Chains A and B, each alone.
Chain A
Amino acid sequence: MKNPRRFQLGVLALLCMPVLLAYESGGTAYTKKLETALLDEPKPLAHPAAKIGYAVELTVEQVNGSWLLVSAGANRGWVFAGNVAEKKPMANPKTDFLPSTASETTASVAARPLDEVAQNYGEQKGLGEAKADVEWVERQSGRVNGAAVTEFLQAKKLGEYQP
């Protein structure tokens, strides 16, 4: 090999290429939340041009870093890549999603606490102490609600708040 460094860089570029090409113009993405806003600009606080429901197929028209310009029928706008999926999601939108306000406003309570069957399991197995510990984790976790996570993402410049 006359120029091994060039060869290594070439292989590295090939390996990294799919990161950039995970979504590409003309490709497909799916909404994965009950409601996804398509924005006027690739910025988290931009005006929503349209709102799309769950598991809707989107056509990717343009990729700009972590932002995608997508369209679905007459609706068109920008969406952060983390808010869509490459595969069509399989949840039941009528039963599986929590009420949209719960994750934002509920404090000190898990949005979906340890369920009755699991509680009975803990009791019947003599694991009451461990059950109480899981409930402690759920209370702590419940305090980190949607608003706290958004504030964290903004402060740390993560997610759609990346520069």
Chain B
Amino acid sequence: MKWIRPLCLFLALTTAASVGLAQFSLNGFDPFKAAKDVGKVIKGTAGISLKEECSIGGSVAIEIVARFGGVWKDEAATRRVNLVGKSLARYCDRPELDFKFGILNSETINAFSAPGGYVFITKGLYELVGDSDYELAGVLGHEITHVTQRHALKIIERGELLSGISDLAAMKNEDFAKYSDAVNSITKTLFEKGFDPKTEYEADRGGRALAALTGYAPGGLRAALVALQHEAAINKNRAIFSTHPPLQKRIDRLPVE
């Protein structure tokens, strides 16, 4: 049975190579599930125009800001976040979007994005990454990937929550209630349930790849997550990425670089 060990080794290596292909391609493209995903996009979001995406995203952005104590109006910090964020966005897969980056006036540690290109990180997270642009790029890249992959939009399949509303700009009262439900279904996911772990890991892979493509050291997101893990160990009462998968699981899935 001498052949068993080499066979196991071969299978392990080919599996690792396949996983690597999915995890490290330049923009997170996974050739093994591409066909399935294209089908999902067509079913879930093809009926939502960019204008509608921006309407919904703007409403979600307002809810995010309201929920997290408003915006931290530090012009220098906001400019830095926009410079790093827009550098990444220049090379993302949806250059038609106008990304906007802001800092929430909250000491909790979290980050959010909304359809259409709104990205927010909390003041707590901004201060934790400090002067490290590459860690900031990793975090922002993760959020940009949520937007470019239309993760939030997939929650509100037009056929269900937005059915019957043909023109968002001319909504009647009953339509507004439907629209409000659609926005609420996204914010409920962002604030309470979180995306499923698979979606978060996809955003981690995509964010890492986008940061690397832009020229930042690819280990920035992992370094930021490790820093958060240290903070969580020191300050057990602090809310850290409360709606995301456990930090250790996310760290384990990113390569040491």
Which A positions have Cβ atoms within 8 angstroms of B?
A: 10-11, 14-19, 22-23, 32-33, 66, 81-83, 85-87, 89-92, 95-98, 103, 110-112, 114-119, 121-122, 124-125, 127, 129-131, 133-134, 136-138, 140-141, 143-144, 148-149, 152-153, 156-159, 161-162
Contact = CB atoms under 8 A, between A and B. Distances in A.
B196 interface: no
A109 B88 CA distance: 20
A95 B26 contact: no
Contacts of A118: 54-59, 61-62
B24 A18 contact: yes
Contact of A159 (B46, B61, B90): B90
Contacts of B61: 114, 118, 134
Interface stretch (B63-71, B124-132, B228-236, B242-250): B63-71
Contacts, number: 190
A17 B20 contact: yes
Contacts of B13: 10-11, 14
Given A17-B20, A144-B86, A98 B55 contact: no
Q: Report whether over half of chain A's contact residues are helix, strand or loop; otherwise say mixed.
A: helix
Contacts of B98: 98, 103, 110-112
B96 interface: yes
Interface centre among B62, B71, B179, B216 (most CB of A within 10 A): B62
A115 B66 CA distance: 18
A124 B177 CA distance: 11
B84 to A, nearest CB: 8
Contact of A127 (B25, B66, B71): B66
Contact of B54 (A91, A115, A121, A156): A115
B20 A66 contact: no
Interface residues of B, number: 67
B47 interface: no
Nearest to B117: A112
A86 B78 CA distance: 32
B114 to A, nearest CB: 10
Contacts of A130: 62-63, 65-66, 70
B83 A148 contact: yes
Contacts of A97: 95-96
B21 interface: yes
B42 to A, nearest CB: 9
B20 A18 contact: yes
Interface string B67-107: 00011010100110011001100110111101111100000
B11 interface: no
Given A124-B176, A131-B62, A159-B87, A15 B215 contact: no
A123 to B, nearest CB: 10
